[in-house]
A and B are shown apart, each in its own frame.
Chain A
Amino acid sequence: MSEAVLASDGDRSPVVTVERGQRAVFCGLTSIVWLHRKIQDAFFLVVGSRTCAHLLQSAAGVMIFAEPRFATAILQDRDLAGMADCHEELDRVVEELLSRRPEIKTLFLVGSCPSEVIKLDLNNAAGRLQTRYDGRVRMVAYSGSGIETTFTQGEDKCLAELVAANSGRTDRESPALIIAGTLSDIVEDQFQRIFDDLGIGPIAFLPARSGDTMPIAGPHTRVLLAQPYLTETAQALKGQGAKLLNAPFPLGAEGTLLWLKAAADEFGVTDSLFNEVTAAPLARAKQAVGYQREKLRGKRIAFLPDSQLELPLARFLARECDMNVESITTPFHDPQIMASELTLFGDHPDMIEGGDLETRLDHVRQLRPDLTVCGMGIANPLEAEGLRSKWSIELIFSPIQGFDQAGDLAGLFSRPLSRAAQLEV
């Protein structure tokens, strides 16, 4: 069932094993839940089934807004039996939607498993609709389907498509630095201030808060990934001549420092300026993480596959919080994007890519770690077996990157442990 596919550089030789089998990770549609909060004038229209609509609303949980900026065009028997022309139907739905929501500037047509299985060409549809709504609404199609993408990969597909849609545009200046990957507004603002102080700029965030200010990469653009799941986006940016900087991800004091340093070195920032700008927030971050380290030191942790943040989080918890990382499974491993993380982590346990749900759960039961990072559906069952858990979707929705969130990030892991220690029932 398993095949060893990758033995990486040098003496440490971490092994990444691909394991097939049953998976329990959300599909890429889920990323709409945070993407629509970020891109504030965009609407995400999934072309799919009632399942897709139900997934979105279950993942969005209690966030019921007056009228959400996402919806599903649910395929019906008539569409599948050929009684209705899917493209005409889609045009009708889009018209209904846009007449209701005239403020929408970008419409994402998001492909799902059903739309892909019936080979409904949404790129084609986006092109056709673009002609109709040109100058008013920008149409972008991408896939969030569960047969193509897991969870965070939905954002990768979305951003890669946004980059591709901008290719060849010259109407705006390319920024010197693009920070790619959704971050909370508060984290973006912190990074913006630090880059300003370092004299690096102009910088731009991808995705931007508005659909028509998405940065356009050029040959002088450098790219720093703020999220590790952006394989295709990184490729697309490189395809437009941008240079991808190698760095670990900005999780924890050390991760953030090295991430900023990669940019500082690239833009020729002097060491003294770099130290001057980062010294205070770095000290704050270390202090805040220090409080949590007391609670986390020596505790054993395992990662079940979920967000592709597994490796950077494990590195942070091992190096800055003195935790013992005993097992890492990740839905998808990109050795290039993770190169700096692997180097920094040093001796880490072998990793599983993919993972068979039952095998992985049995493995956790056998390890009995102090904490297991897992998807939302699995957390309570593990707790009921006496295993402490941290459901990882919170790691996607909370601001965790950067110096001033390093303590909060560690706190997300110490809280379940403190809670378990305090409860007497």
Chain B
Amino acid sequence: MELSLWTYEGPPHVGAIRIANSMRGVHLLLHAPQGDSYADLLFTMIERDNHRPPVTYTTFQARDLGSDTAELVLNSIHAAVEKHKPQVLLVGDSCTAELIQDQPGSLATSCGLSVPVVPIEMLAYSRKENWGAGETFYSLVRGLLQSRVPAPGTEPAPRGGQPPSVNLLGPSSLGFRCRDDVREITQLLAQMGVRVNVCAPLNASPGDLLRLPDADANVCLYPEIAGPSCDWLQRNFKQPTIKTVPIGVGATREFLAEVAETLGIEYAPDATDSRLPWYSRSVDSTYLTGKRVFVFGDATHVVAAARIAHEELAFEVVGMGTYSREQARAVRTAATELGLKALISDDYLEVERVISELQPELVLGTQMERHIAKRLGVPCAVISTPAHVQDYPARYSPQMGFEGANVIFDSWVHPLMMGLEEHLLAMFRDDFEFNDSAQPSHLAAEGVAKRSENTAVNDSIHSEDADAAAELTWDLNAERELRKIPFFVRGKAKRNTEKFAADTGVSVINVNTLYEAKAHYSR
């Protein structure tokens, strides 16, 4: 048993629903109790879909368990096929159904349906949502294409005269900004004369999946979802996989170069492709230098974000990690390159602990880290699922490609600017025209209660690190001086000073101690 307060990922069958909901003409028959139908709201409320996900829940109850749940499965299958007339029926279990072992997949394949059936195995007690999505997509691809795999040794047919084409694999319902990423990447490829043969699973039909082998290569846009499918297509249809994930200016240029090399065409980099490089070099951005950032989320977005933070914005990445054990290796490698040890954990309390220890100035994370950051009063931008309704914006806002880089520049720098604005307010807090009890406009009330001037001094000094503070005291002048330090480095200054005081045997911290510590740590 594992104690879980908030989870980053849902169960694997939610991944299966994501695939079914991405596609057209696919219906999922899920053997599940009625409560599992909560999954509908993920799609209709968070992603604002205008239809129910294409899923039929068998909704067995306790009283069905004694009798014949298999019959219930069969009835549900026939009703679902009759009602929704899918081109392909996916059939699987949720966690509870897995325990009663009705084998709905075999029931469906052997009951003489006119529709092709693809059974899926969801391993509810060891796997999670992203794995479930990847596995479901793979089952569909393999299920539909297996009979068309060319015999070993067959050379792929020459594709005379046709423009080069690729498949975009991995974008899915409830993925992070997939809708806009697809548009952006399709556009960039078109500029190079590369056609998108099929984009899947998002908006694809089973018929589209049958056309996958027509492309010259597969772009593995989201490895979490498309990894197993790309590997299988490469093995069986000799389609090369383009693996660079085009998030960030550098990665996008590398991606286009990889596409060009794979397809044997020209790619001429254009220095004006994105505004990020210039925005980042303009003097206004100098203050971004060395901003301490913490990065957490799914592997794809974390690896990309860490690279952008380091190479394209000149931040200092002070910590990074992922909730996905399956994809941990990529994150570990990227962390090592930055001299860090990756945090691999799906325990959000541990993530919170690490963030509060590291005291970053910006958190790039998921919905969970957004809440953690809000509590700690640290600016935050969301870069990965799980995300909430506000991260499915109405406007065009890709993460991928050159426009994606522009979007990233804006959305990461904006919270920092708000933080800076707050700092200016803080600098003038003793000014008679400024009121210290005013709330910063971009932070919600959570955790940042209004307080009076005096208690604010004491709070900011004594609230954290209670043990250390127990032996050390700050004299009044030192406290006042500490208050003058900008809020976003105040915590660090306080920690450093206390450590310095402890190391040098000082028990009462005065203004001198503060500046000696500053000098000591600025070496």
Contact = CB atoms under 8 A, between A and B. Distances in A.
Interface of A: 21-30, 47, 49-51, 53-55, 57-59, 62, 64, 66-68, 70-77, 79-80, 84, 86, 89-90, 92-93, 96-97, 113-114, 116-118, 145-148, 150, 358, 375-381, 383-384
The 3 A-B residue pairs with the shortest CB-CB distance in the complex, in nearest-first order: A27-B35, A146-B35, A377-B40
Given A49-B125, A53-B7, A147-B65, A24 B51 contact: no
B345 to A, nearest CB: 15
Contacts of A27: 33-36, 38
A205 B6 CA distance: 30
Given A71-B3, A74-B4, A376-B41, A381 B51 contact: yes
Interface in B332-380: 349, 368, 371, 375
B33 A146 contact: yes
Contacts of B5: 67-68, 70-71
Contact of A22 (B2, B14, B42, B59): B59
B96 interface: yes
A341 to B, nearest CB: 25
A24 B1 contact: no
Contacts of A79: 1, 125
B99 A51 contact: no
Contacts of B42: 58
B48 to A, nearest CB: 6
B183 interface: no
B45 interface: yes
B470 interface: no
Contacts of B57: 22-24
B292 to A, nearest CB: 23
Nearest to A59: B38
A375 B34 CA distance: 13
A146 B34 CA distance: 6
Contact of B96 (A53, A67, A117, A376): A117
B33 A147 contact: yes
B394 interface: no
A332 B14 CA distance: 27
A147 B96 contact: yes
Contacts, number: 183
A54 B7 contact: yes
Contacts of B49: 380-381
Nearest to A90: B1
Nearest to A50: B11
A116 B4 CA distance: 19
Contact of B6 (A57, A77, A146, A377): A57
Given A50-B11, A55-B35, A378 B40 contact: yes
11 contacts: A25-B37, A29-B35, A50-B9, A54-B38, A55-B35, A66-B375, A68-B6, A118-B99, A145-B62, A358-B79, A384-B51
Identify the interface centre among B38, B48, B50, B61: most chain A CB within 10 Å of its CB: B38
A398 to B, nearest CB: 17
B445 interface: no
Interface in B58-102: 58-62, 65, 76, 79, 83, 94-96, 99-100
Given A64-B368, A147-B61, A381-B50, A113 B33 contact: yes
Given A29-B35, A380-B45, A97 B3 contact: yes
Contacts of A21: 59, 79
B126 interface: yes
B44 interface: yes
B1 A54 contact: no
A155 to B, nearest CB: 14
B393 to A, nearest CB: 16
